[in-house]
């Protein structure tokens, strides 16, 4: 963040005191669909200049023939000229002392190579001149309070809205009415476009410091600086809720992966987990994005997850239970006092409980029963929130069923007990206006949306109550010898014995091993090891050890060992004739235990991610994994393990004793440390790690070096190649 004393770059963009519009056609004057009309409708009171040599005089606006005719030092230029002239125009703007620019024009890095080149030139101008730029390829911004916009979109000015939007396309600004309700609105909105200068984190931090913004709504397609985003989001989300929609989830399976870990840690999983770790509320659709941010803008705190259901319809109540269950909410247990207080509204034969099917009281006398029942529930200490289901039939005919004023009033009286509504009938829109009139209740288009929103409200409240987790996981100096091992391994594509050495340097329990480089050192090299052994070929050139005959299991000491050693060497020579055999790893067979996979993959946006899950040769098929963006501390590692199915096996099913999960925790934490200490390794598979009753043993390890991964596509290292 820039210091408070100078104007923030984004203030120049969102609320300029003066703006020059460059590239506006003459036809725009008087057109209903034009920035000029928008600024007038919006009531913008800054100075507006239009640069166009052929434009006639326009009332209230200064027309200049060229940029050089503009007064010096304007706050902002809004530029929508042919792409070939953009760079020149921006440079001339900077020359005229204009402090910031919104470049609307498309066809830069979003288009062809020529466009990408233009964008590079634009970046040079920005760096040289100091002008700040939003875009290119953007429709820019709108600021409801400043009355400013660079777009032609009609915006219902709602100065009270606490929602700050940021999108990686024009999508949110163009579709800000997506959910057809004005209360959703926005205070500020911005399309980042190609973000050649001002980007996502700049906007998030700008909104963080803006007291008018209470809820942040993000549309994300790709995040370049994932770590920067995570750090800012994690800090901000503990105060202001951030709701995000990740678009483009289906673009999977395209990136090159060289490990099991890479295969299971798809882009979608990494994004999902990264948002979750940052405390960002993930919306699964554009509709949820607007609903959740509207919910945060509407409700006060929701202190917990215990929900009471008050429903006109028994059938609706059953559906509400499904939604509550899916959202991980709980059904509140109403107190005997609460139930007694409403008992007289119901026939004697009807047992009342939560969910409350209130059809009989309503049909008899809504006015006397509904407010009493709803308020009774709100007063119950065991209730954190209410899911209210009612009908929205035409008025005045069905006014005996119209609960909207009661809901609106009681929602305002109990601001910290959200009343989430769902309704059916032919005038949902009309009745909703009354329910939402107090601004303290809202009507959801689905029970699922209502329940999910309540869950997110409760989660956010919990987040604001927790102290920030200190990220101690990275502390502790990297073992000194590791740099040397990596140095020695330089030029290698995969590490095997060096991987063992690195793991041991981090105090991790590799099953005892020795590298035997010649038959005559077999006995001395394995002197300290306990039989039976496992023999593995060590060679840069062999990707699939087993398939080349490069693995032999269960070998006893003595003649059997010699025989197995010779056999392995012969098999490798036969099956992989070109391969250089660096030696044979002789390793103790691990004691019985549960096969787990541990891994690391370096995501292009978010950096190293740690993975744990069911291991063995079927790890990918089982696809039972938990993932975290590093760092992972012990607490987080335990949470990861709990997320997997294998955790049930680790904790002992069918009367078995529990396995030593803490040994696994230690491996995860150390792997996270290594991944942050050194970026030379792109992907890691430790598979299997055998977790026993006491301790764990890393039996196999494979490190894929970053240099290899960078060229992975060229080398045909795609999914099918995982070995």
Q: Contacts with a copy of itself in 276-335 (CB under 8 A)? A: 285-287, 312-316, 318-319, 321-322, 324-326
Nearer Cβ to a copy of itself (63/223) = 223
Looking only at residues 89 through 118 of this chain, which bind a copy of itself when binding is defined by CB under 8 A?
106-107, 111-112, 114-115
The interface region with a copy of itself, picked from 1-9, 390-398, 519-527, 602-610 by CB under 8 A, is: 390-398
Residues 6+ apart with CB under 8 A from 62: 47, 48, 49, 50
Residue 618 in the binding site for a copy of itself (CB under 8 A): yes
Asked if residue 320 lies in contact with residue 387, where contact means CB atoms within 8 angstroms, the answer is yes
Q: What is the separation, in whole angstroms, between the first and last Cα of the chain?
A: 46
Residue 621 in the binding site for a copy of itself (CB under 8 A): yes
Site string for a copy of itself, 344-383 (x = CB under 8 A): ---x-xxx--------x-----------------------
Site string for a copy of itself, 459-498 (x = CB under 8 A): ----------------------------------------
| Closest C-alpha among 284, 144, 279, 138 to residue 210 | 144
Nearest approach, Cβ of residue 202 and a copy of itself (Å): 20
Nearest approach, Cβ of residue 402 and a copy of itself (Å): 12
Nearest approach, Cβ of residue 218 and a copy of itself (Å): 12
To which H or E segment does residue 117 belong? Answer: helix 113-129
DSSP 8-68: PHHHHHHS-SEEEEES--GGGTT-SSSHHHHHHHHT--SEEEEE-TTPPPBTTBEEESSGG
| Closest C-alpha among 93, 24, 98, 103 to residue 56 | 24
Nearest approach, Cβ of residue 8 and a copy of itself (Å): 26
Question: Would you call the peptide bond into 355 cis, given omega within 30 degrees of 0 as the criterion?
Answer: yes
Nearer Cβ to a copy of itself (192/489) = 192
Q: Residue 504, SS3? A: helix
Site string for a copy of itself, 222-261 (x = CB under 8 A): -----------------------x-xxxxx----------
Nearer Cβ to a copy of itself (160/617) = 617
Residue 209 in the binding site for a copy of itself (CB under 8 A): no
Q: State the pairing for strand pair 533-538/583-588.
A: antiparallel
Rounded CA-CA distance 477/480 in Å is 8
Nearest approach, Cβ of residue 104 and a copy of itself (Å): 11
- The residue written with tokens 């120049």 in the block is 12
Task: Locate 517 and state its tokens.
Answer: 């480089």
Asked if residue 82 lies in contact with residue 105, where contact means CB atoms within 8 angstroms, the answer is yes
Asked if residue 305 lies in contact with residue 462, where contact means CB atoms within 8 angstroms, the answer is no
Residue 575 in the binding site for a copy of itself (CB under 8 A): no
Residue 1 in the binding site for a copy of itself (CB under 8 A): no
Nearer Cβ to a copy of itself (398/677) = 398
Question: Using CB under 8 A, which of 646, 664, 697, 708 touches a copy of itself?
Answer: 646
Question: Using CB under 8 A, which of 33, 254, 553, 658 touches a copy of itself?
Answer: 33
Question: Using CB under 8 A, which of 10, 18, 74, 83 touches a copy of itself?
Answer: 83
Nearest approach, Cβ of residue 656 and a copy of itself (Å): 9
Question: Using CB under 8 A, which of 4, 53, 468, 654 touches a copy of itself?
Answer: 654
Total site size for a copy of itself, rule CB under 8 A: 84
Nearer Cβ to a copy of itself (281/675) = 281
Measure Cα distances from 472 to 285, 631, 635, 673, 679 in Å.
35, 8, 11, 10, 19
Rounded CA-CA distance 105/138 in Å is 7
Looking only at residues 394 through 423 of this chain, which bind a copy of itself when binding is defined by CB under 8 A?
394, 397-398, 400
Nearest approach, Cβ of residue 319 and a copy of itself (Å): 5
Residues 6+ apart with CB under 8 A from 32: none
Could you count the other beta carbons within 10 Å of the beta carbon of residue 268?
14
Question: Using CB under 8 A, which of 283, 428, 598, 699 touches a copy of itself?
Answer: 428
Question: Using CB under 8 A, which of 58, 61, 81, 153 touches a copy of itself?
Answer: 153
| Closest C-alpha among 231, 236, 327, 230 to residue 284 | 327
Nearest approach, Cβ of residue 232 and a copy of itself (Å): 22
Nearest approach, Cβ of residue 246 and a copy of itself (Å): 9
The interface region with a copy of itself, picked from 170-178, 209-217, 494-502, 524-532 by CB under 8 A, is: 170-178
> 3-state secondary structure string, 133-165?
EECCCCCCEEECCCCEECCCCCCCCCCCCCEEE
| Closest C-alpha among 47, 48, 35, 99 to residue 72 | 99
Residues 6+ apart with CB under 8 A from 250: none
């Amino acid at each position: 963040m820039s210091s408070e004393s100078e104007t923030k770059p984004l203030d120049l963009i969102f609320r300029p005191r003066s703006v020059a519009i460059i590239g506006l056609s003459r036809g725009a004057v008087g057109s209903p669909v034009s920035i000029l009309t928008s600024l007038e409708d919006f009531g913008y009171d800054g100075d507006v200049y239009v640069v166009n040599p052929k434009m006639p005089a326009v009332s209230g606006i200064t027309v200049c023939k060229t940029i050089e005719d503009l007064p010096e030092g304007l706050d902002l230029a809004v530029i929508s000229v042919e792409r070939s002239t953009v760079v020149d125009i921006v440079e001339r703007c900077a020359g005229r002392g204009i402090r910031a620019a919104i470049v609307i024009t498309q066809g830069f890095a979003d288009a062809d190579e020529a466009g990408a080149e233009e964008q590079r030139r634009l970046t040079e101008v920005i760096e040289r001149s100091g002008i700040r730029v939003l875009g290119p390829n953007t429709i820019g911004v709108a600021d409801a309070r400043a009355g400013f916009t660079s777009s032609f979109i009609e915006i219902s000015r709602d100065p009270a809205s606490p929602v700050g939007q940021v999108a990686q396309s024009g999508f949110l600004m163009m579709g800000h009415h997506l959910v057809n309700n004005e209360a959703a609105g926005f205070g500020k909105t911005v399309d980042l476009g190609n973000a050649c200068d001002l980007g996502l984190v700049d906007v998030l931090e700008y909104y963080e410091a803006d007291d008018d913004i209470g809820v942040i709504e993000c549309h994300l397609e790709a995040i370049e600086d994932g770590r920067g985003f995570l750090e800012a989001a994690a800090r901000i989300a503990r105060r202001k809720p951030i709701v995000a929609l990740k678009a483009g989830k289906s673009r999977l399976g395209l990136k090159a992966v060289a490990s099991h870990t890479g295969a299971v840690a798809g882009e979608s999983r990494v994004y999902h987990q990264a948002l979750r770790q940052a405390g960002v509320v993930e919306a699964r659709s554009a509709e949820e994005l607007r609903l959740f941010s509207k919910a945060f803008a509407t409700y006060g705190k929701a202190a917990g997850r215990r929900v009471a259901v008050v429903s006109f319809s028994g059938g609706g109540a059953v559906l509400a239970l499904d939604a509550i269950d899916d959202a991980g909410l709980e059904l509140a247990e109403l107190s005997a006092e609460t139930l007694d207080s409403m008992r007289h509204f119901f026939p004697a034969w009807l047992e009342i409980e939560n969910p409350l099917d209130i059809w009989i009281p309503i049909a008899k006398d809504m006015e006397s029963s509904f407010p009493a029942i709803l308020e009774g529930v709100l007063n119950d200490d065991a209730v954190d929130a209410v899911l209210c289901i009612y009908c929205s039939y035409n008025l005045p005919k069905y006014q005996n069923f119209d609960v909207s004023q009661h809901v609106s009033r009681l929602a305002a009286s109990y601001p910290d007990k959200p009343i989430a509504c769902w309704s059916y009938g032919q005038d949902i829109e009309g009745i909703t206006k009354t329910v939402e009139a107090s601004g303290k209740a809202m009507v959801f288009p689905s029970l699922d949306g209502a329940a999910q929103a309540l869950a997110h409200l409760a989660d956010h409240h919990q987040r604001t109550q927790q102290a920030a987790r200190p990220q101690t996981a990275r502390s502790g100096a990297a073992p000194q010898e590791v740099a040397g091992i990596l140095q020695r391994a330089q030029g290698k594509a995969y590490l095997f014995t060096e991987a063992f050495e690195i793991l041991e340097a981090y105090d991790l329990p590799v099953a005892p091993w020795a590298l035997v480089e010649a038959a005559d050192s077999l006995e001395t090299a394995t002197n300290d090891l306990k039989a039976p052994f496992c023999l593995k070929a060590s060679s840069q050139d062999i990707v699939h050890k087993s398939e080349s005959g490069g693995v032999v299991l269960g070998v006893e000491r003595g003649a059997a060992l010699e025989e197995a050693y010779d056999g392995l060497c012969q098999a490798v020579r036969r099956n992989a004739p070109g391969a250089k055999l660096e030696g044979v790893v002789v390793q103790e067979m691990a004691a019985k235990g549960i096969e787990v996979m541990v891994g690391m993959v370096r995501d292009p946006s978010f950096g190293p991610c740690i993975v744990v899950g069911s291991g063995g040769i079927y790890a990918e098929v089982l696809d039972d994994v938990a993932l975290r963006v590093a760092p992972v501390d012990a607490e987080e590692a335990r949470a990861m393990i709990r997320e997997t199915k294998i955790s049930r096996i680790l904790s002992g099913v069918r009367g078995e004793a529990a396995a030593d999960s803490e040994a696994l925790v230690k491996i995860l934490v150390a792997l996270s440390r290594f991944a942050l200490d050194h970026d030379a390794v792109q992907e890691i598979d430790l598979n299997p790690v055998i977790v026993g009753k006491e301790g764990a043993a890393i039996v196999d390890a494979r490190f894929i070096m970053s240099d290899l991964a960078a060229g992975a596509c060229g080398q045909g290292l795609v999914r099918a190649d995982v070995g």
